[in-house]
Amino acid sequence: MAKHIFITGGVVSSLGKGLTAASIALLLKQRGYRIRMQKLDPYLNVDPGTMSPYQHGEVYVTEDGAETDLDLGHYERFTGIYCNQGSNYTTGRIYSAVIAREREGGYLGKTVQVIPHITDEIKAAIRSLATDDVDIVITEIGGTAGDIESLPFLEAIRQFRQEIGRQNGLFIHMTLVPYIQAAGEMKTKPSQQSVGILRTIGIVPDMLICRCERHMEEEHRQKLALFCNVEDQYVIEEKDVDHSIYEVPGELARQHVDQHILKMLQLPENELDLDEWTHMVQTLIAPRREVEIAVIGKYISLQDSYKSIYEALTHAGVANDAAVNFRMIEAGDLTPDNTSKLLDGVAGVLVPGGFGFRGIDGKIRAIQHARQNRIPFFGICLGMQCAVMEFARNVCGLEGANSTEFDAETAHPVIDLMEEQQTITDMGGTMRLGVYPCQLTPDTRTFAAYATETVQERHRHRYEFNNAYREQLEQAGMKISGRFVAGDLVEIVELSDHPWFVACQFHPEFKSTPLQAHPLFRDFVAAAIGGRQESSPAPDATTSQTTSAAQACPAS
Ligand code: GLN
């Protein structure tokens, strides 16, 4: 039978519960345990797929096409273990299932209630991960103790632990121990109160993990232990790390968190093998060189919106023994006059995925600049679509070439809606989602990066490269370096007469880990380190961009 660890949070949000859960998972995995991870989110959206990146950060996509919370990205990056549809449940998803069953007559005339029907559904969601091939399930509860929305989830985990017994289930509570400047002291009271809230609903944490800016004194630890009813040794400090989130597992291991957990769960300790991880962290902390990459996005002010992109670039840095610095540029800020200035000196340009028209002109300008000035370029999803639009307009002379997402009437729809998408009106879970096989073309930069013929990559989009323009673009020098053969879809394009210009329709950033940088990110950063090639700009069919997409498209 699988054992369970439940991680709750108190005092404030953004304590890094996801990172802590992921770090614990890594430590237990490196002691030989088979781990599964899950996040329960107490909001009413059925999944984060329909939420704005401003509200919720990036939407993380799993192999099996679930649109999930970005914490699942941490889970996968730290552990290398894939999440799935069972790894993220929201209140909306739980209620939808219960209401659908009620409509089907599944409750046989009973009054359907939060307790027991919603809590039973939550318990079933937790149990769904505890399959025979799993030793420990780690379940993170989103939100903060005391939130009204969290109550059904907390009641469900209380019942769950009651049913499986103490030695099979653990409660870990993350809290904040702030340093109050004016008093010159660290304060334990908020943590005591948050544990108090849990106690009123019948949960007594077995372990406290305390986020703090300064080291806690023994006196604080004892106070917390006494007032929160937790054993001294199980009050753990998680002080802000100096350099990187990837230092957290080492910090927790130093305080024997993994050993404490195994002891409480009555599982053998086994040996911890953290060598490879520690080595990676050392490279990350003291790299031999630096490189600056421009990321041209639309939600640039919010780092979480491009979480996996920044992480994947960091991993690529580790693979190249380099620190990757980001120049985050709001696409809408790029004008014909300032593009060279804003991109001056960057070693690489990356245009990530996105939706809606705002910022498209700026992205296309950045791509044109990278292409003409032979700066390594990496386009992802919308970034790939923009690269195709740029090439069609400025190299093939297809004036006003566009995606039908932005101009339904364009004379040259080089990016168009897939046929099966044309009749869909529902927003949730209706895109092309999850992994598809992609066959690579030999003798391309893409093939050189992956060094294999077929790869599996994750998608999240509605629009596609329009095959009607394929021949024309190929003749002008755009190489198709990856295809989904069964659907006859172009997945990767590149330019051979450029130091490194690759753009893909899928999201490679979701499959990059610090121990194994994604091959495309790795080679992109390597090309950027190689420096800009000092040769003349690539010639264009048209010298200036005549039609502004803004004139033709509805604003978003
Ligand atoms: N908006 C584009 C599409 O739907 C690109 C999506 C993305 O970048 N994830 O096809």
Ligand 1 centroid, distance to 249 Cα (angstroms): 34
What distance in Å separates the CA atoms of residue 52 and residue 317, rounded to the nearest whole number? 29
- Is the domain of 409 the same as that of 372? yes
232: pLDDT confidence band, cut at 50, 70 and 90?
very high
Q: What is the pLDDT of residue 531?
A: 53
- 378 and 521 share one domain: yes
Are 184 and 264 in a shared domain?
A: yes
Q: Please indicate, yes or no, whether residues 249 and 361 belong to a single structural domain of this protein.
A: no
Rounded to the nearest angstrom, the distance between the alpha carbon of 384 and the centre of ligand 1 is 9
438, part of any domain: no
Q: What is the pLDDT of residue 532?
A: 41
Query: End-to-end alpha-carbon separation of the chain, Å?
Result: 51
Mean of the pLDDT values across residues 154-180? Answer: 96
pLDDT averaged over the chain? Answer: 92
CA distances from 90 to 107, 335, 492 (A): 22, 41, 34
Final residue of a domain: which of 249, 279, 309? 279
Return the pLDDT at 368. Answer: 97
Task: Determine the average pLDDT of the residues in 274-302.
Answer: 92
Task: List C-alpha distances in Å: 248 to 25, 171, 315.
Answer: 12, 20, 16
Does the pTM surpass 0.85? The reply is yes
CA 41 to chain centre: 16
In the predicted model, what is the mean pLDDT of residues 289-317? Answer: 91
> Any catalytic annotation for residue 212?
no
Residue 212 lies in a domain: yes
Confirm or reject: Cβ of 309 under 6 Å from ligand 1.
no
Told to judge if 509 belongs to the known catalytic residues of this protein, a careful annotator would answer yes
Q: What torsion, rounded to 10 degrees, do the Cα atoms 102, 107, 111, 115 define?
A: -90
Q: What is the rounded distance in angstroms from the CA atom of residue 541 to the CA atom of residue 180?
A: 63
Q: Are strands 35-41 and 136-141 parallel, antiparallel or unpaired?
A: parallel
How many domains are contained in the chain?
2
Q: Which CATH number covers residue 538?
A: 3.40.50.880
How much is the average pLDDT of 305-323? 95
Distance CA 514, CA 77 (A): 7
- The mean pLDDT value for 381-394 works out to 97
Q: Which residues contact 457 (CB under 8 A, 6 or more apart)?
A: 435, 436, 438, 491, 504, 506, 507, 508, 511
Work out the average pLDDT over 116-135. Answer: 97
Measure the CA–CA gap between 303 and 328, rounded to whole angstroms.
Answer: 9
How far is it, in rounded angstroms, from Cα 347 to Cα 36? 39
Distance of CA 236 from the midpoint of ligand 1 (Å):
42
| 346 in any annotated domain | yes
The stretch 324-329 carries a mean pLDDT of 94
CATH classification at residue 238: 3.40.50.300
377-383-387-392 Cα dihedral, nearest 10 degrees:
180
Q: Is the pLDDT of residue 549 over 50?
A: no
Both 333 and 188 in one domain: the answer is no
118 pLDDT more than 60? yes
Question: Which of 4, 56, 507, 518 does the annotation list as catalytic?
Answer: 507
- Residue from 309, 359, 358, 356 nearest 331 by CA: 359
For residue 116, cis peptide bond before it (omega within 30 degrees of 0):
yes
Please give the helix or strand (H or E) that residue 495 lies within, else none.
Answer: strand 489-495
Q: What is the DSSP letter of 172?
A: E
Mean pLDDT over 352-376 rounds to 95
pLDDT for residue 547 is more than 90: no
Residues 261 and 295 placed together within one structural domain of the fold: no
pLDDT at 98 over 70: yes
Place 313 in a pLDDT band, splitting at 50, 70 and 90: very high
- Cβ 381 under 6 angstroms from ligand 1: yes
- Do 255 and 304 lie in one domain? The reply is no
Exactly one of 381, 396, 504, 553 is catalytic; name it: 381
What is the structure's pLDDT at 553?
33
Same domain for 254 and 299, yes or no, is no
Indicate whether 228 and 351 sit together in one domain: no
Taking 50 as the threshold, does the pLDDT of residue 496 lie above it? yes
CB-based burial, 473-511: b 16+ in 10 Å, e otherwise: beeeebbbbbbbeeeebbbbbbbeebbbbbbbbbbbbbb
- Domain membership of residue 428 (yes or no) is no
Task: Say whether 507 is catalytic.
Answer: yes
Pick the most confident of 420-424, 431-435, 541-545.
431-435
Place of tokens 């917390």: 224
Residue 422 lies in a domain: no
Query: Is pLDDT at 64 greater than 50 in this prediction?
Result: yes
Rounded to the nearest 10°, the torsion over CA 125, 128, 134, 135 is: 50
191 in Cβ contact with 175 (< 8 Å)? yes
Beta bridge partners of residue 173, listed in sequence order? 8, 208
Q: What's CA 104's distance to the chain center, in Å?
A: 36
Nearest CA owner, ligand 1 atom 3: 461
Q: From the centroid of its chain, how far is CA 254?
A: 27
Report the Cα 11 to chain-centroid distance in Å. 25
Domain boundary among 279, 297, 320: 279
Residue 141, pLDDT above cutoff 90: yes
Cα diameter, the chain: 77
How many Å is the Cα radius of gyration of the chain?
25
Claim to verify: residue 408 and residue 267 sit in the same structural domain: no
The verdict on 406 and 511 lying in the same domain is yes
- pLDDT value for 431: 86
Q: Is the CB of 354 under 6 A from ligand 1?
A: yes
State how far the Cα of 242 lies from the Cα of 244, in Å rounded to an integer. 6
Asked if the structure places residue 45 within a domain, the reply is: yes
Predicted pLDDT at 14: 82
Cα angle for residues 116, 117, 118 (degrees, 5° grid): 100
Q: Compare 54 and 221 and report the one with higher pLDDT.
A: 221
d(CA 4, CA 130): 8
CB atoms within 10 A of CB 243: 11
Spatial separation of the C-alpha atoms in residues 524 and 511, rounded to whole Å: 15
486 in helix, strand or coil?
coil
DSSP 361-416: HHHHHHHHHHHHTT--EEEETHHHHHHHHHHHHHTS--TT-EETTT-TT-S-EEEE
**Residue 397 belongs to what domain range?**
289-417+464-482+490-552
pLDDT above 90: percentage of residues in the chain: 85
262 and 361 both lie in a single domain:
no
Q: Which atom of ligand 1 is nearest to the CA of 355?
A: 1
Side chain identity, residue 483: R
Contacts of 332 (CB under 8 A, 6+ apart): 298, 358, 359, 362
Q: Whose CA is nearest to atom 1 of ligand 1?
A: 355
Mean pLDDT of 323-351: 95
Residue pLDDT, tens place only, 435-483? 999 999 999 999 999 999 999 999 999 999 999 999 999 999 999 999 9
Choosing from 351, 381, 388 the residue with most ligand 1 atoms within 8 A of its CB, the one to mutate for a pocket test is 381
The pairing of beta strand 377-380 with beta strand 432-440: unpaired
With cut-offs at 50, 70 and 90, classify the pLDDT of residue 536.
very low
CB-based contact 311:57 (threshold 8 Å)? no
Please indicate, yes or no, if residue 453 is contained in any of the structural domains.
no
Residue type, 336: P
For residue 503, the 8-state DSSP code is E
Give CA–CA dist 37/287, Å, rounded.
31
Q: Residue 425's pLDDT is what? A: 67
pLDDT at 418: 77
Under 8 Å between Cβ of 85 and 35:
no
CA 59/CA 61 separation, integer angstroms: 6
Q: Is 412 exposed, middle or buried (0-12, 13-18, 19+ CB in 10 A)?
A: buried
Name the domain boundary from 232, 252, 279.
279
- Whether residue 435 lies inside any domain: the answer is no
Contacts of 532 (CB under 8 A, 6+ apart): 347, 373, 374, 375, 499
Q: Is pLDDT at 168 greater than 90 in this prediction?
A: yes
CA 424 to CA 409: how far, in whole Å? 19
